[in-house]
Amino acid sequence: MEQETLSKIYNQKFYNALHRIEQKIPPIWLMRQAGRYHLHYQNLKTKHTFEELCKTPELICETTMGPIQDFDFDAAILFSDILFPLDYLGMGLTFNPGPEFSNPLTEQILNQEKEQSFSDYIKFQINGLTMIRDTLPKNKSLIGFVGAPYTLFKFAQRHPQSNSKLLDNFLPIVEKILEENIDLQFSVDLDILMIFDTEAQHLSLDEFNKNVKPFIEKIAIKYPGKIGYFTKDIDNEKFESLKTIIDLKLTVVGSNQDIFSKLSNTNLSLQGNFFNEYLAIEDINDFKKHLANFIKYIKDQDLSKRAGWICSLDHGVLKTTPEQNVKLFIETIRTQL
C-alpha cells in the first residue's frame, strides 16, 4: 500500500528521501519558505492583506510559487494558515496583523449549528491548491498542511490555565473538521501533508499520547506514507512514541539533536536540521562559517546514514533572514555534498 501511494511523489529527490533511498544530494524545502523574509512576498503585501493572500486562490498560488521561482526548492508548500478551522467554528478570525478572535472558545461555539458546510467554507484553499498543482513544474513536489488539534486548542483558548473539559469536547469536533480538510487537500494530488503541532512540545509524554498521538495514527492509517508531523524541538520520548506509528512517513528533528544517528534507528524519513537563527545571520562571513560546519557534519556521514534525509531547518524561516543566505544555503548543499 505504501509503495503504491508513494509512487506519486513528483520530485525524484523527495521520492528517494521518502523511500529512504541513498542519494548524495537531498531534497530541500523550508517551513515558511513563502514569507516575510522574501521580497516577492513583501511586494504582494504592499497590495494585499494577509487574509487576501490566504483566501484568494490566485494569490494563494502566486504566493506559494514565489520561492519556487526564486530559489528552486524541490517542493512547494501551500500558503495558508492553520487557524481557518477555528474561524469555521464561529470564533471570528481576523489578522491585525497577528490572529485575533472576536468570539471566545465556548461550549456554545463548539455545538452551534454551522451556516455552511466546511467543504464550502474552505473552497478558497482547495481552489488555490488546484491552481498550484496546475502551475507547479512536474519535477516539483506539493506539500499540504493542517494545524494539529491540540495546537489549535491552544490558539483558541486564551486563558493560561487549560480547561480540560473544554479540551476533551474540543478535540473530537475539530479532529472531524481537520480530517475533512485533509481529505479535501488530498483530492488535489498532494505528495505529502504535514501536521503542524508547535504547542505539543509543552506536553508530557502521557499528555502527548492521550491528546496528540491518536489523531496522527488515525490520519496516517488513512493516508499511509503520506503524512508528516512537526512539533518544535521534539524530545526523545515523543520521538520514540512517533516511531511506533507504522504508517507515519516523516517528522522534523530540531537543531539540538543528531539527525543522522536518529535516521539509523527509525523507519521514518527525517527533516532538518540547520538552525534557523544561523540562516538569519546578517554577516555573510559568519553565516558561511556555520554553513561550512553543517556541510562538514553531513559529509562525515556515510551515504547509507543519510538515506531518508530531507534538508531543511529546525523550524520556519525567520522574517529577518537575508535572501542571499537562502540562495547560498541551497547552492552549497547542491554543489558541495
Q: What is the pLDDT of residue 255?
A: 82
Q: What is the pLDDT of residue 269?
A: 97
**What's the pLDDT band for 254 if we cut at 50, 70, 90?**
confident
Confidence tier at 163 by pLDDT (50, 70, 90): confident
Report helix, strand and coil shares of the chain as percent, to nearest 5: 50, 10, 35
Confidence (pLDDT) at 162: 65
Q: Give the model's pLDDT for residue 2.
A: 43
| Proportion of the chain above pLDDT 70, given as a percent | 97
pLDDT at 4: 44
Instruction: Give the number of C-alpha atoms closer than 13 A to the C-alpha of residue 208, restricted to the C-beta side.
Output: 20
274-277: list long-range contacts, CB under 8 Å, 24+ apart: 274/311, 274/312, 274/313, 274/314, 274/329, 275/313, 275/314, 276/313, 276/314, 276/315, 276/316, 276/317, 276/318, 276/321, 277/318
Residue 174's Cβ-count burial label (10 Å; 0-12, 13-18, 19+) is buried
- For cell 474552505, name the residue: 122
pLDDT band at 9 (very low <50, low <70, confident <90, very high): confident
pLDDT at position 160: 60
Residue 215 in contact with residue 175, Cβ under 8 Å? yes
Mean pLDDT (the chain, rounded): 95
Per-residue pLDDT reduced to its tens digit, 170-185 = 999 999 999 999 999 9
Q: Say what the pLDDT of residue 75 is.
A: 98
Q: What is the pTM of this model?
A: 0.95
- Condensed to tens digits (0 to 9), the pLDDT of residues 165-219 reads 999 999 999 999 999 999 999 999 999 999 999 999 999 999 999 999 999 999 9
For the chain, domains (ranges, CATH) are 2-336 (3.20.20.210)
Answer yes or no: is pLDDT of 6 > 60.
no
Q: pLDDT at position 159, please?
A: 65
CA distances from 109 to 90, 117, 150, 157, 296 (A): 6, 15, 17, 12, 53
Q: What pLDDT was estimated at residue 3? A: 40
Cell numbers given for 285: 562571513
Residue 54, phi-psi category: left (phi > 0), alpha (psi -120 to 50), beta (remainder): alpha
